[in-house]
């Protein structure tokens, strides 16, 4: 039993707690319109929440890597639990799989200031599975209803919320309709809109020269080779 408790502690501290920090970092980046940093930190948060769920439920996932869709499929195919997500969260996870893990503008990016709500919803939906038992899993979102508060005993976000002197508290609670002590019926967001075109998407003919100096994932290389042929 001691080893079981140690593994659970590893799942919570190495994945869920770190994911909570990534989530706050993603909120901060979104608030000020840092698109690449917002998407990267969002991807990191979702990845670690999912890996926490996998480990708490003892679902082997050594080959999951950064693939959020693969992590979700592994959980749902395990027979131990099923993660239920709203369509906006599912779409956000797909978006993060497409571009969130690309930290160097290898692919083009697009984001809105209103994506902050999408991030908050996704964090709320995944994080409620990052505990033993089904208390959080029974919580459900309803259209037009303030999201129920799911407090995790000893959770890192909860500690920040409860500590009015915590430096991360304002960044977490700013216009957050999903986490906090009081219910919010409305949030006001920054109305920014940004597109970032990746250099390789604009000039795929430089791919081979770039590959002399930097590493790119195989699937991106194949995609840009196809793009270059179509552009030629």
Which residues, 6+ apart, have CB-to-CB distance to 151 below 8 Å?
A: 158
Domain co-membership, 103 together with 153: yes
Q: What is d(CA 91, CA 147) in angstroms, rounded to the nearest whole number?
A: 19
For 185, other C-beta atoms within 10 Å of its C-beta total: 8
Residues 118 and 229 in one domain: no
CA separation for the pair 174, 176 (Å, rounded): 5
- The 10s digit of each residue's pLDDT in 208-227 is 999 999 988 888 888 888 88
Residue 186 and residue 210 in one domain? no
* CA distance to 35, 73, 177, 183, per residue, from 189 (Å): 15, 33, 11, 17
Tell me the pLDDT tens digit for each residue of 35-53: 999 999 999 999 999 999 9
Task: Round to whole Å and give the CA distance between 140 and 158.
Answer: 19
Tokens representing 159 are 């500690």
The answer to whether the CB of 20 falls within 8 A of the CB of 52 is no
Read off the pLDDT of residues 133-162 as tens digits, 9 standing for 90 and up.
776 777 778 777 888 888 899 999 999 999
Question: Residue 206: what pLDDT?
Answer: 92
Residues 131 and 213 in one domain: no
145 lies in the same domain as 229:
no
Q: Extract the tokens encoding 19.
A: 């994911």
Residue 129 has pLDDT above 90, yes or no: yes
> Are 180 and 203 in the same domain?
no
**Residue 23 near residue 46, CB atoms below 8 Å:** no
The range of the structural domain enclosing residue 210 comes to: 198-232
Show the beta-strand stretches assigned E in the chain.
109-112, 193-196
Taken in order 165, 168, 170, 176, the sign of the CA dihedral is: negative
- Number of Cβ atoms within 10 Å of the Cβ of 20: 26
Q: What integer is the mean pLDDT of 88-104?
A: 89
Predicted local distance difference test score (pLDDT) of residue 6: 94
Residues 206 and 137 in one domain: no
Beta strands in 79-221 (DSSP E): 109-112, 193-196
* Total count of domains within the chain: 2
Q: What is the pLDDT of residue 191?
A: 86
pLDDT score, position 3: 92
Whether residue 145 is found in the same domain as residue 58: yes
Q: Are residues 83 and 144 in the same domain?
A: yes
Are 110 and 148 members of one domain?
yes
Say what the alpha-carbon torsion angle 219, 46, 85, 187 is, to the nearest 10 degrees. Answer: -120
Model confidence pLDDT, tens digit, residues 163-197: 999 999 999 999 999 999 888 888 898 889 998 89
Distance CA 152, CA 35 (A): 29
With a cut of 90, say whether residue 23 has pLDDT above it: yes
What is the pLDDT, as a whole number, of residue 92?
A: 96
């Amino acid at each position: 039993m001691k080893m079981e408790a140690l593994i659970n502690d590893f799942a919570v501290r190495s994945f869920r707690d770190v994911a909570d920090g990534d989530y706050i970092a993603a909120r901060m980046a979104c608030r000020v319109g840092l698109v690449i940093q917002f998407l990267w930190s969002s991807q990191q948060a979702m990845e670690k929440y999912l890996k926490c769920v996998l480990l708490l439920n003892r679902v082997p996932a050594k080959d999951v890597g950064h693939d959020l869709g693969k992590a979700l499929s592994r959980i749902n195919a395990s027979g131990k639990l099923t993660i239920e997500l709203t369509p906006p969260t599912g779409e956000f996870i797909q978006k993060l799989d497409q571009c969130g893990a690309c930290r160097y503008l290898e692919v083009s990016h697009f984001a809105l200031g209103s994506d902050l709500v999408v991030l908050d919803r996704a964090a709320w939906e995944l994080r409620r599975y990052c505990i033993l038992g089904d208390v959080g899993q029974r919580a459900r979102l309803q259209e037009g209803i303030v999201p129920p508060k799911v407090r995790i005993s000893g959770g890192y976000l909860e500690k920040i919320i409860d500590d009015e002197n915590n430096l991360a508290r304002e960044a977490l609670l700013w216009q957050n309709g999903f986490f906090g002590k009081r219910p919010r019926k409305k949030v006001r967001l920054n109305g920014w809109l940004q597109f970032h075109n990746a250099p390789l998407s604009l000039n795929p003919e430089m791919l081979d020269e770039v590959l002399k100096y930097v590493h790119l994932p195989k699937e991106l290389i194949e995609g840009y080779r196809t793009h270059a042929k179509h552009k030629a």
